[in-house]
Amino acid sequence: MKFGIDAGGTLVKMVKEENNQRFYSKYLSTEIEEVAEMLKQFPEAEVALTGGKATYLQSLIPQEAFQSIEFDATFKGIQTFLKQYQHPLENYIFTNVGTGTSIHHVERDKQERAGGTGAGGGMIQGLGYLLTGETDFERLVTLAAQGDRDNIDLKVKHIYKGDKTPIPGELTAANFGRVLHTKDHVTYSDADKLAAAVGVVGETVTTVSIHAAREFNAEYVVYIGSSFLGNDLLKEVVMRYTVLRGFRPYFIENGEYSGALGTLKLMEEN
């Protein structure tokens, strides 16, 4: 039995391999002690760790765990998934949207960090709370999917009002920029506010990603991360905006477990 664990700031992602089968599970970072208690039940298991809380988790368990750098583990996991799904790529950007967002360029078997942004799941949760008072992430994204951004975000087409636009009219000119134009005759629901919050995160993440893709002459942007869990609106915004800007998005099934799977595979190679 082998465990690969990505102990992050918000979630602990776990991949267990046993009898040539792979099992995925996740826990809140506040439940890391419960994860440790579970691992204590399998003292002979091989354990591989990565993530910001890896050293703390190591202090709680009896196994002498293998540890890897988070970026290396995530890259290894992505490469493993791409091979599994028969979608080989040699030159691409991968964007990991977790609490914040980290962006990397991959060329064949090498990766380098190309940048990042503080926009991510943490911003959705924090801004969502400030806008609506809601704290539960699942509730936030469920509400956001029911909202309408059109009265809140100012699009290029709103500025040109039917005239020919120099860039696609559906591009956002200013997130939240239409509020002062609509405030006297529109009531903004919590769902509308949250949809706009998810929109600004998705468009920020995508903009930074495609700038990196353009710099490195990469066609594909591979998106992973726990912020996409149950968050169809964020996925839709990112996918549509990436295509609109002329690049190809690719979402990996179970991609949020790339770090956990990658550290397990690195352990096997060492």
Q: Which pLDDT tens digits describe the chain residue by residue (270 residues)? A: 999 999 988 899 999 999 989 999 999 999 999 999 999 999 999 999 999 999 999 999 999 999 999 999 999 999 999 999 999 999 999 999 998 999 999 999 999 999 999 999 999 999 999 999 999 999 999 999 999 999 999 999 889 987 888 888 888 899 999 999 999 999 999 999 999 999 999 999 999 999 999 999 999 999 999 999 999 999 999 999 999 889 999 999 999 999 999 999 999 998
Quick one: 142 and 225 in the same domain? yes
* Same structural domain, 74 and 198: no
Residue-level pLDDT at 89: 95
Catalytic residue among 70, 90, 215, 269: 70
Q: Are residues 65 and 25 in the same domain?
A: yes
pLDDT in tens, 98-148: 989 999 999 999 999 999 999 999 999 999 999 999 999 999 999 999 999
* 170 in catalytic set: no
CATH assignment of the domain containing 241: 3.30.420.40
Query: Residue 163's pLDDT is what?
Result: 84
Residue 138 and residue 94 share a domain: yes
Same domain, 245 and 207: yes
85-89, long-range: CB within 8 Å, 24+ apart, which pairs? 85/252, 85/253, 87/250, 89/220, 89/222, 89/250
Looking at the fold, whether 91 and 209 belong to one and the same domain comes out as yes
Number of structural domains, the chain? 3
Q: What is the DSSP string of the chain?
A: -EEEEEE-SSEEEEEEEETTEEEEEEEEGGGHHHHHHHHHT-TTSEEEEESTTHHHHHTT-SS--EE--HHHHHHHHHHHHHHHTT---SEEEEEEESSSEEEEEEETTEEEEEEEES-SHHHHHHHHHHHH----HHHHHHHHTT---TTTSEEHHHHHTTSPPSS-TTSEEETTTTHHHHTTT----HHHHHHHHHHHHHHHHHHHHHHHHHHTT-SEEEEE-GGGTT-HHHHHHHHHHHHHTT-EEEE-TTGGGHHHHHHHHHHHH-
Q: Are residues 21 and 94 located together in one domain of the fold? A: no
Domain shared by 90 and 153, yes or no: no
Shared domain check, 125 and 152: no
Q: Are 80 and 106 contained in the same domain?
A: no
Amino acid, res. 249: P
pLDDT for res 9: 83
Q: Say if residue 124 is in the same domain as residue 222.
A: yes
Pairing assessment for the beta strands 2-7 and 46-50 based on DSSP bridges = parallel
Please give the residue range of the domain that contains residue 181.
148-187
- pTM for this entry: 0.91
Check whether residue 213 and residue 118 sit in a common domain.
yes
